[in-house]
Structure 1
Amino acid sequence: MSNISVLQIGSDDWTPKMQSKDIDWQYTSILDLPTMLAFQKDPYVLEQSYVVLTDDVLDSTLLSSQLDAWPPLRTLYFAHEVTPEFQAVLDERRAFFIQENTPEAINKCIQNDLSSEQIGFSTRFSEAQFLPLPSEGIHFKREGRFSAQYSGNFGLEWQQIGTLQTYETDFTSTQANLVWLDYSQTGSVEVQVQFVFYKNNDIQTIQVIEGAALRELTTVGGLQDYQAYQILVFARGEGLIDLHALHQRRSRHGLGMLLPGDDWHLTTENEEILSYFNPGDRQAPLIVNFSGLRLHGDAFEMKTSLDELGTPYLLFTDSRIQGGAFDIGTPVYQQAVIDMIKKAMATLNLKPEDVILTGGSMGSFPALYYAADIKPRAVMIAKPILNLGTFTSQAEFAQLFNQDWILDVRRYLVGRMNPEDTEELDQRLWQHIQNIDWSKIKISLFTMSQDEYDGNSLLQLNDFFTAQQATVTHVTAVGSHTDKIPEMISFFMTELKKARDNMRQEDQ
């Protein structure tokens, strides 16, 4: 059975050239499109995964009207003659422009670059993944598991300062990865990263990244038959280097990273923000979801469920340190998140009361936090983690499960490990959200009866909502923090469907 289905629309039928067991290829001309749709179970639904427009001239009002009614991020085209009206529809529906226009190229693009599989990971400068090689006169120290620091004079020539642990499965044959280095430096010091690929115990090729390219999405890999590889780190000049992580994601050749059509943003302070915007059916509500903890791989959450809902949505996932830092940080970072939400609102011509903020576990914190900045219609959270000071002070808890993630969260947000910071971190949420009118924001809350993460904050949250006269729908399930994930998603979707239907009834 095919994994991907495609509807080709154009003058020439490519079906004989698209004999792939992984793609169910279907064809229609523009004139026959209405007839083909009439024979569907639902003529208003796009039944295929993608639509491919294979004509070099796009000017049909019939076709553009149909694309306008179909979901976004599902159309591919390579035409170079497109009327302004047709191009406006393609842009609004976030269609993918493909450079090559052969059946072979389109087939490869669909299978390799437009799959829904999210492949992203980070090679950390931790004890397990980084072998430091400080030379004489160079000082080396670690700060938790996300910071490896060198200071001193490295000289005028490049010298190796360490090796990152790698795995053969980090790359797939013929596939390339997009990488960038999360680090900081002072003085004249520079960093260089070398990807050394081996075949038959000999060096096959060396790919070097340095300078500005370290903080850009740079392509590496894409080899046919390498057997192993190393990542070598070099330095030169004088100053301090603070190495955090080498982020790697499967290349989609300009069509996205974790998902086709997602967005990569680097703040002026070199912090990464990953987001994915789907304008859906263009009607309220706009759902903004913050992902939970991602210890072993980068990924957005809730996409499949929100696709079924049909409304516009904006997803965030936090790739900083190992697992994320609750989508908060410096004023620059937080303003970037706020600006992205407001940009999605402006694109859809929606108001704050058309927005719903959602998140589970780690994602519950930003869903509540940014409510003070967006003032949405509703906030829907599950398994909340709210008091970051108390939460990150549980040293013994981190050792059991999270590889010291919560300790590194504290280092990242405060810059040190000191019990004196617990109260300030605990108050970060409450101080930020206390001065808005929560009586105008509907709350949906899903909690666990034996939540060992931050369950003690639930009473504080309930007292806060009571004092604020907020309307709260609260469901409790039996179990610990990591239990009942399907029930949690079901709760979200039930509440979102009710909110969507109520909002649209009000607008009629």
Structure 2
Amino acid sequence: MQKKIKVLQIGTTNWDEVESIPKQLDWNFAPSSNLERILTFEDTKSAQTFDAILFTDFSGIHNINCLNDIGQSYAVLFTQETLPNDPAIRAFLKLKLAQAVSIKNKKLLLEQIVYAFFDNQSGIKLGINMIRIAPTFGGSCKYEGNAYLELEGEFGKEFEPLAFWQKNIYVDPNKKIEVWPEFVKSADCELKISFFETINGSTDTKQSSWSVNEKGLESPIVIGGTHNETSGSFLNVIIYAKGSGKVKIGSLHYRWSRLGLGQFLLGGQRYADSKRQEFMYYFNPGDMKPPLNVYFAGYRSLEGFEGYFMMKKMNAPFILLSDPRLEGGAFYLGSEEFEKKIKTVITDSLHYLGFDNSQLILSGISMGTFGALYYGSKLRPHAIIAGKPLLNVGTIATNGRILRPQEFDTALDLLRLISGESSQAAADRLNKRFWDAFSKTDFKDTIVAAAYMKNDDYDRYAFRELVEKLQRKNVKVIGRGYIGRHNDNTSAIVNWFLTQYRYILKNDFGRK
């Protein structure tokens, strides 16, 4: 049975008396002129918590701070039409990172709450190994590792089937999903994507179907109107093309949708560059006191944010960054616009909090260490905390031939994605890309703490090179080595990682 979403409406008119409230919502009302009632509902004398707080009117509010402990970040909604000038209310909305919604269509807003305020997160990708080429296509094809399937030729004067995914998409009951196809194409051809729905458990041969043109593909496709309220449904996806030229098809991503109120988590954000390459980020202001802690997620096949509860437990402001590309991530490397945006996300959050770079900590484990150290060279934070550093991505790719055959081919895919080729020279240039940025940076005010595996089979000399470069600059380095290969003792690395965080938060920022 689906858990009901507990909603608190604050305003002058109780919607439960004038609107049809969906059965999935546990509706509560408190008049805006008497917020103390929130703390003394009939069934309890203690403060309550709510999944969502909806302000429909701010009239008469004079003690909004009594809500500080009952609403999570991004779970506070206010209507665009009622934003007040009261400084205390505006400060509260800023603290909670409240989201503006419209009440012009109340039924639509209630549906948005039903579908957006769920627990957990879900994101899956269908790789190019799942793609089958339409038998009617007579052009050439080639694979670029596991990143792209390239198809070139004449596609036809009218839309013709080009390719389809052999595996279908499952749409969970009581969920809507967002679909994001990766592709790059030449200007002389045009694409559209068609969806064909089958109801789970149905023997009906009639299918619902619809298509999305290129304009609709500029943002994630929200799948609505499916027959998924009781048993879910399955979607088959076909790409159509017309014209001529070249089409490179990448992964097909699909995620639970929050209908504009977040990606994966409430308040989660998404960025895609001009080549449709994505990263996700989530900012939580915590108690709005220094420092801002940034965590770059490690390699993960399932898409979504990593480390939410770990970072939230620190009570300080934090950012989560996630890279959904390739099989489990692309080390946060990308185009100039892609990398510039990651830096901007961090600096904008610092400005929001009123912090400077001396009140910033970057961190990550495994793949996330590359992000922490690479962007650390651009941001010069107070500290960088790295567990199992991976820095020579080109070397990781070439090591796959002997040390780890067929175990981490994503490194080869990354080499090709970034450099366009798979060669020793390309691997050397990829290594140089990190060390050029790192060597140019003055880390004199930065603490670097890194734990490493002494027998690391991915990037064996990463820690040694890191220390050599930093010692020349008289940088404080805290290091710890553990016996084993890269994935042999993750629990010890995580414990060390958290110990360093606790030490720096307590001793450098006076946090308990």
Normalising by the residue count of structure 1, what TM-score does the alignment of the two structures yield?
0.86
SS across alignment from 1:56: coil
Query: Is 1:265–2:266 an aligned residue pair?
Result: no
SS across alignment from 1:157: strand
Q: 1:471 aligns with which of 466, 470, 476?
A: 476
Question: Per the alignment, do residues 150 and 58 of structure 1 end up closer, same or farther by CA in structure 2, a change over 3 Å counting?
Answer: farther
Query: Is 1:441–2:442 an aligned residue pair?
Result: no
State the Cα distance separating 1:406 from its structure 2 match. 1.6
Query: Is 1:337–2:338 an aligned residue pair?
Result: no
1:307-347 CA distance string (max 9 Å, x none): 11111111211112221211012222211111111111111
Question: Per the alignment, do residues 223 and 81 of structure 1 end up closer, same or farther by CA in structure 2, a change over 3 Å counting?
Answer: same
The 5 Å alignment of 1:89-168 reads 89-99=92-102, 112-126=115-129, 129-133=130-134, 135=136, 137-167=138-168
The 5 Å alignment of 1:186-201 reads 186-199=186-199, 200-201=203-204
Question: Per the alignment, do residues 88 and 304 of structure 1 end up closer, same or farther by CA in structure 2, a change over 3 Å counting?
Answer: same
Q: 1:294 aligns with which of 300, 312, 324?
A: 300
1:143-171 CA distance string (max 9 Å, x none): 11111111112121111111112245x31
SS across alignment from 1:451: coil
Instruction: Identify the residue that residue 253 of structure 1 maps to in structure 2.
Output: 259
Instruction: Identify the residue that residue 371 of structure 1 maps to in structure 2.
Output: 376
Q: 2:281 aligns with which of 256, 275, 282?
A: 275
State the Cα distance separating 1:400 from its structure 2 match. 4.2
Structure 2 CA distance for aligned equivalents of residues 240 and 398 of structure 1: 34
1:40-98 CA distance string (max 9 Å, x none): xxx9x986253524553445131157449965323234584341233563245212345
SS across alignment from 2:498: helix
Instruction: Identify the residue that residue 427 of structure 2 maps to in structure 1.
Output: 422
State the Cα distance separating 1:281 from its structure 2 match. 1.5
Structure 2 CA distance for aligned equivalents of residues 209 and 489 of structure 1: 44
Structure 2 CA distance for aligned equivalents of residues 282 and 123 of structure 1: 39
1:128-187 CA distance string (max 9 Å, x none): x1111254641111111111111112121111111112245x311342211222111113
Structure 1 CA distance for aligned equivalents of residues 118 and 451 of structure 2: 32
State the Cα distance separating 1:257 from its structure 2 match. 1.9
SS across alignment from 1:202: coil
SS across alignment from 1:426: helix
State the Cα distance separating 1:477 from its structure 2 match. 3.8
Question: Per the alignment, do residues 398 and 405 of structure 1 end up closer, same or farther by CA in structure 2, a change over 3 Å counting?
Answer: farther
Question: Per the alignment, do residues 242 and 55 of structure 1 end up closer, same or farther by CA in structure 2, a change over 3 Å counting?
Answer: closer
SS across alignment from 1:158: strand
Question: Per the alignment, do residues 5 and 450 of structure 1 end up closer, same or farther by CA in structure 2, a change over 3 Å counting?
Answer: farther
1:393-418 CA distance string (max 9 Å, x none): 1334665434x212111111111111
State the Cα distance separating 1:107 from its structure 2 match. 8.0
Paired-residue identity, %: 24
SS across alignment from 1:213: helix
State the Cα distance separating 1:104 from its structure 2 match. 9.5
Question: Per the alignment, do residues 47 and 327 of structure 1 end up closer, same or farther by CA in structure 2, a change over 3 Å counting?
Answer: farther
Structure 1 CA distance for aligned equivalents of residues 297 and 380 of structure 2: 20
Structure 1 CA distance for aligned equivalents of residues 109 and 210 of structure 2: 28
Give the aligned CA root-mean-square deviation in angstroms. Answer: 3.5
Q: 1:207 aligns with which of 188, 198, 210?
A: 210
Contact 2:121 2:304 in 1 (8 A): yes
Q: 2:367 aligns with which of 358, 362, 374?
A: 362
State the Cα distance separating 1:109 from its structure 2 match. 5.3
1:411-442 CA distance string (max 9 Å, x none): 11111111222222222211111122223101
In structure 1, runs of 5+ residues without a counterpart are: none
In structure 2, runs of 5+ residues without a counterpart are: none
Contact 1:173 1:223 in 2 (8 A): no
Structure 2 CA distance for aligned equivalents of residues 408 and 90 of structure 1: 43
State the Cα distance separating 1:280 from its structure 2 match. 1.6
Write the letter of the residue equivalent to 1:412.
Answer: L
Question: Per the alignment, do residues 327 and 27 of structure 1 end up closer, same or farther by CA in structure 2, a change over 3 Å counting?
Answer: same
Contact 1:8 1:27 in 2 (8 A): yes
SS across alignment from 2:193: strand
Instruction: Identify the residue that residue 231 of structure 1 maps to in structure 2.
Output: 237
Structure 1 CA distance for aligned equivalents of residues 22 and 241 of structure 2: 50
Structure 1 CA distance for aligned equivalents of residues 4 and 236 of structure 2: 34
Q: 1:391 aligns with which of 388, 393, 396?
A: 396
State the Cα distance separating 1:269 from its structure 2 match. 3.9
State the Cα distance separating 1:366 from its structure 2 match. 1.4
Contact 1:174 1:222 in 2 (8 A): no
State the Cα distance separating 1:285 from its structure 2 match. 0.7
Question: Per the alignment, do residues 194 and 18 of structure 1 end up closer, same or farther by CA in structure 2, a change over 3 Å counting?
Answer: closer
Question: Per the alignment, do residues 242 and 36 of structure 1 end up closer, same or farther by CA in structure 2, a change over 3 Å counting?
Answer: closer
Structure 2 CA distance for aligned equivalents of residues 162 and 69 of structure 1: 49
Counting matched residue pairs gives 496
Question: Per the alignment, do residues 479 and 305 of structure 1 end up closer, same or farther by CA in structure 2, a change over 3 Å counting?
Answer: same
Instruction: Indicate the larger mover: 337-346 or 225-234.
Output: 225-234
Instruction: Indicate the larger mover: 492-501 or 9-18.
Output: 9-18
Contact 2:172 2:233 in 1 (8 A): no
State the Cα distance separating 1:254 from its structure 2 match. 1.1
Question: Per the alignment, do residues 339 and 488 of structure 1 end up closer, same or farther by CA in structure 2, a change over 3 Å counting?
Answer: same
1:184-207 CA distance string (max 9 Å, x none): 111311111111112425242112
